[in-house]
């Protein structure tokens, strides 16, 4: 995969970790250790994020195409897929594209594939803001509004980590990733057949518990778990709880 930076860690049944907007593969760092003890982790930076360069806009389907190629290159026949935020959206698309190969889905801060977003779309507003002002304000707001009070006020290491992930992005590619989420074609989450675990923060204002409940209602085989003292970044805000939940889920399937 010359176009994507990919870290491969551990051995065992493979797990693909798909980060969201403002993240990179490093966003999974707090849970990599326990997962890699029993699983082979495939951890890419999506195109235009972190260490994966991009000189053109990438749509949602383009990202999914690269994830399919990534699995092919690494000769992975079946895989557990974990996605966060926009990565949860891409993970659902991947499960629909490869129903026989995606063994399970775990969606952190994920919502349904269809809905009626407000106009203007908040992510388009964010993209426009980043192009006009840079990343500083968006990074500050991500910590202030997209993490739980226990994180923003009581866990400075986690709060700083979230901020630095956002600040490490290329501004134009960050804006393009926002637009990829805005412009992705809708899909029917209810067509996903694999077992799915939903981990949603009680204080998530980006994809609130109601969105998690709506998605769980659409999926034929879903388990929803609401995480206290957690906002939109569960793997950073509640890493031990998330790692344990994922390991138990993978072991059961």
Instruction: Note if the pTM is more than 0.85.
Output: yes
Which residue is it, tokens 């926009």? 86
φ/ψ of residue 42, rounded to 5: -110, 115
Instruction: Tell the residue number behind the tokens 């809708």, with chain if given.
Output: 186
pLDDT recorded at residue 221: 96
pLDDT tens for each residue of 78-119: 999 999 999 999 999 999 999 999 999 999 999 887 777 778
Beta bridge partners of 199: 108, 225
In degrees, rounded to 5, the angle at the alpha carbon of residue 104 between the alpha carbons of residues 100 and 105 is: 115
Looking at domain 6-117+185-252, its CATH superfamily turns out to be Alpha/Beta hydrolase fold, catalytic domain (3.40.50.1820)
The pLDDT, as a whole number, for residue 169 is 96
Pair of tokens at residue 19: 């980060």
Number of residues that this document lists for the chain = 253
Smallest CA-to-CA distance from 176 within 14, 18, 21 is with 21
Q: Cis check for the bond before 116: say yes or no (omega within 30 of 0).
A: no
CA–CA distance, 32 with 37 (Å, rounded to integer): 9
Say how far apart CA 212 and CA 142 lie, in whole Å. Answer: 20
Taking the chain (253 residues) in runs of 10, the rounded mean pLDDT of each run is 84 98 97 98 95 87 96 96 98 97 97 79 95 97 95 93 96 95 90 97 96 94 97 98 98 96
126 and 178 in contact (C-beta within 8 Å)?
yes
Instruction: Give me the residue spans of the domains in the chain.
Output: 6-117+185-252
Judge whether 209 and 110 are in contact, CB under 8 Å.
no
């Amino acid at each position: 995969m010359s176009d994507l930076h990919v870290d491969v860690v551990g051995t065992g049944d493979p797990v693909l970790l798909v980060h969201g907007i403002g993240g990179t593969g490093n966003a999974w760092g707090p849970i990599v250790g326990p997962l890699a003890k029993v699983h082979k982790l495939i951890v890419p930076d999506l195109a235009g994020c972190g260490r994966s360069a991009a000189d053109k806009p990438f749509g949602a389907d383009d990202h999914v195409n690269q994830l399919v190629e990534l699995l092919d290159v690494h000769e992975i026949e079946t895989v557990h897929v974990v996605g966060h935020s926009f990565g949860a959206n891409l993970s659902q698309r991947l499960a629909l594209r490869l129903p026989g190969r995606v063994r399970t889905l775990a969606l952190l801060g994920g919502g349904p594939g269809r809905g009626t977003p407000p106009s203007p779309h908040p992510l388009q507003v964010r993209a426009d803001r980043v192009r006009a002002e840079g990343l500083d304000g968006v990074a500050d707001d991500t910590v202030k509004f997209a993490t739980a009070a226990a994180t923003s006020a009581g866990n400075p290491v986690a709060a700083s980590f979230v901020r630095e992930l956002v600040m490490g992005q290329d501004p134009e590619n960050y804006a393009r990733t926002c637009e990829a989420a805005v412009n992705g074609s809708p899909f029917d989450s209810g067509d996903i057949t694999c077992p799915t675990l939903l981990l949603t923060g009680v204080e998530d204002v980006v994809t609130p518990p109601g969105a998690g409940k709506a998605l769980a209602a659409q999926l034929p085989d879903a388990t929803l778990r609401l995480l206290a003292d957690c906002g939109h970044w569960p793997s950073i805000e509640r890493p031990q709880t998330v790692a344990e939940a994922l390991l138990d889920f993978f072991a059961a399937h």
